[in-house]
Amino acid sequence: MMHLTAFNRAEQGHILTPRLETPFHDRLAALSETNDWYSWAGYKAPHSIFDTELEYFAIRSTSALFDISPMVKYRIRGSDAARYLNRLTVRDVAKLGVGRVHYTAWCDDHGHVLDDGTLFRLATDDFRLCCQERHLPWLLDSAGGFSVEISEETAEIAAVALQGPTAFAVLEAAGFASIETLKPFQLAEFPHADGSVTISRTGFTGDLGYELFAPAKAALSLWDRLWTAGSGFGLKAIGYDALNRARIEAGFIVANADFITAEAALRADRERLPDEIGLDWLVDPQKPYFNGRDAILKARTKGTFKHVLVGLEIEGNIPAEGAIVYHRGKKEVGLVTAAIWSPLAKRNIAIATLSRPYGASVTDNLWVEIYAMRELQYQKLMKRARVVSRPFVKLDRRSAMPPGRF
């Protein structure tokens, strides 16, 4: 009977539904040596392509291509698009010029962060919002009273990140004329095939880098154009594991990894206000009313924040991923959400969420509990940690104008 039930379920197909393939999948699959895939927003995405260590060093030493097509993309258009987005997000959209990008976040009415992402102003009344999670019902529910059209274009738009010191040289060699004029957080349209590609000087590595957006039908020709141009500049395809190392060095956070989004939180104490995850600098209290404003400002006035997200430097060289953080080695005060031994900083670094006042006014005598495998046995290690500023690594080439060819 159990076998029959399993067979019937398989016949229905819902447990055999394959993961979607991105527009770049054929190129990634042809290059993949590790065959190490995971599910990103329902898409098949690589943990690695050939070797995580070497992929990381491609980001920092030459350049790397990372498929970001599964990133959720919303198109928001209409005469009220800017006013709507200013009501939705915590940052002042009126200050975002056409052809510019900014990092932002949005909250529920209690001030808890629903997600963070990047907002691209393609034209006066035309925006693209990119983020980690899907929010179409929330976006639509928030649009009442605004003359605005909202649609998800994740499947229609292919996107790839080109990151690393030779990224500009690759684009220049690929024939993207005047790419050297593109400033950090600026975007522009460039001819490609029978249409165009949108290129922004943005990325998730803290390095010199760009993100390219094109219609899905133009994905393979765009990849081939970059791959051919990059042959003399050490261009490699990479997976998420290498990208994750770079983003930790840059001090960037990931939704539902370093913090739990308000929609995903199952317990009330897991939700976070912007100030509790290091996003206080995004909040513009001087702009018109936005979702969560009153709750955020009330917490600031009364000093009722319960958590803080911090950077840690930990003694030794064993990464502390998932480690518990203690004060004086006894009182549990938080958790490490991301950690690596940084090859670039030559430090053992981590991002951690702590219960205030620890990590805020109390920063002394912090310890992390690491379990290291030693000859088939786990050894408990208590290592000292100190709060340090993020980013852990700051590269001048990220914002240099004009960008270097390296």
* Domain total of the chain: 3
The CATH number for 16's domain is 3.30.1360.120
**Domain shared by 60 and 165, yes or no:** yes
- Does 102 map to a domain? yes
Strand order in the sheet with 113-123: 100-107, 113-123, 126-131, 72-77, 149-152
pLDDT score at 16: 60
Residue 361 lies in a domain: yes
Q: Does any domain span residue 299?
A: yes
DSSP state of 253: -
Task: Output the pLDDT for position 224.
Answer: 98
| 391 CB neighbour count, 10 Å cutoff | 17
Tokens of 212: 């390219």
Q: Is the peptide bond before 18 cis (omega within 30 degrees of 0)?
A: no
pLDDT at 349: 98
Please give the backbone phi and psi of residue 269, each rounded to the nearest 5 degrees, phi first: -80, 5
In a domain, 186, yes or no: yes
Task: Return the half-sphere exposure (C-beta side, CA atoms, 13 A cut-off) of residue 283.
Answer: 25
pTM for the structure as a whole: 0.93
Asked whether 187 and 198 are in contact (CB, 8 A), the reply is yes
Distance between CA atoms of residues 353 and 310, nearest Å: 6
Residues 57 and 99 placed together within one structural domain of the fold:
no
Task: Kindly report, residue by residue over 224-260, the tens digit of the pLDDT.
Answer: 999 999 999 999 999 999 999 999 999 999 999 999 9
Query: In this structure, are 273 and 355 located in the same domain?
Result: yes
Same domain? 310 vs 357:
yes
Q: Is position 395 within any domain?
A: no
Range of the structural domain that residue 184 is part of: 2-71+156-250
Residues 125 and 16 in one domain: no
SS3 label, residue 95: helix
Domain end call among 250, 283, 304: 250
Residue stretches of the chain with pLDDT short of 50: 1-12, 14
Q: Are 53 and 78 within one domain? A: no
